Amino acid sequence: MASLRFFVTFPTVLFLFSLLVVEAHTSRKMISNKEQEGQDITHLLKDGEFEDPSMYMFFNFNDLRLGAKLLVYFDKNELRTLPPLLTRQEADLIPFTKSKLDFLLNHFSVSKESPQGKAMKETLVRCNYKAIEGEYKFCGTSLESMLDLAKKTIASNADIKVMTTKVIAQNTISYALHNYTFAETPKELVGIKMLGCHRMPYPYVVYYCHGHKSGARVFEISLVTDDGRQRVVGPAVCHMNTSMWNADHVAFKVLKIEPRSAPVCHFFPLDNIVWLAN
């Protein structure tokens, strides 16, 4: 019964995604994290830890248990900063490749050396990366293309379902860095295929979606803040084999582990989408 909190079948995905974009919670923006509204987090950090709160989405596999406490960050964008969601017809008229970067910068009136220009380049490069062995990936530049590609990649003739992260509060939601505790034993979703879609910094909504043919374990989680007033429910994924990852991946630095030596788990920002299929 717990899974009913998260799962929505394919016919209702369009409506769900529309709401997600309108409400649009995110920790990935066209502006840099340093330009976000400031939060004094120094009292939560130990020496040598990251001062960028958006790094606190990763955790160790051994921490995936009832009662474990983690420092986690969930952020919300202001609606005025959100890029538009294009239809497939609109998106298909705009090139989406690094070779057209100069044209795109001019088209969107973005300076090449600005944070926005550098973010656009990074997104185009990442979306054109070759998938590593055992990985499937794509970038969706419209709602229709993302739905079609997700279904084609993992669902075939099966139903496709979606999970997102939700924040529930007694009063006003605090989108900030908090100590969270696993309030329930994480429930593993066994025998499924998974795609995690992360919204990328770009002048319009672009999702980078990727998954692994094996080696990733998906869980339903429930977290609660120290004061008990705020709860987070949603998906978490653990990548059990990181041997093919880039040795400079930020997760290894955040977790302070030897690159490619251990599993890496992470929560999903509130604007991310996790697609699931049997």
> According to the model, what pLDDT value does residue 50 have?
61
Q: In total, how many domains does the chain have?
A: 1
Overall pTM > 0.95: no
> According to the model, what pLDDT value does residue 10 have?
45
Q: How many CB atoms lie within 10 A of CB 148?
A: 14
Q: Looking at the domain assignment, is residue 185 inside a domain?
A: yes
Orientation angle between helical segments 13-23 and 143-150, nearest 10 degrees: 130
Q: Looking at the domain assignment, is residue 211 inside a domain?
A: yes
Contact (Cβ atoms closer than 8 angstroms) between residue 189 and residue 259: no
Per-residue model confidence as pLDDT tens digits over 104-157: 999 999 999 999 999 999 999 999 988 888 889 999 999 899 999 999 999 877
The DSSP annotation for 186-236 comes to: PEEE-S-EEEEEEEEPSSS-EEEEEEESSSEEEEEEEEEETTSSEEEEEEE
**Proportion of the chain above pLDDT 90, given as a percent:** 64
Domain of 264, in residue numbers: 51-84+134-277
CB neighbour list of residue 146: distance below 8 Å, 6 or more residues apart:
140, 197, 207, 209
Q: Looking at the domain assignment, is residue 26 inside a domain?
A: no
CA–centroid distance for 173 within its chain:
19
Map tokens 């059990």 to a residue. Answer: 240
Q: Looking at the domain assignment, is residue 118 inside a domain?
A: no
Q: Looking at the domain assignment, is residue 157 inside a domain?
A: yes
Q: Looking at the domain assignment, is residue 56 inside a domain?
A: yes
Q: Looking at the domain assignment, is residue 115 inside a domain?
A: no
> According to the model, what pLDDT value does residue 78 have?
61
> According to the model, what pLDDT value does residue 52 have?
83
> According to the model, what pLDDT value does residue 201 have?
94
Q: Looking at the domain assignment, is residue 38 inside a domain?
A: no
> According to the model, what pLDDT value does residue 190 have?
92
Written as tens digits, the pLDDT of the chain (278 aa) is 333 344 444 444 554 554 454 444 333 334 333 333 344 544 444 545 667 888 899 999 999 999 999 999 988 766 667 899 999 999 999 999 999 999 999 999 999 999 999 999 999 999 998 888 888 999 999 989 999 999 999 987 778 899 999 999 988 988 889 999 999 999 999 988 999 999 999 999 999 999 988 889 999 999 999 999 999 999 999 999 999 899 999 999 999 999 999 999 999 998 899 999 98
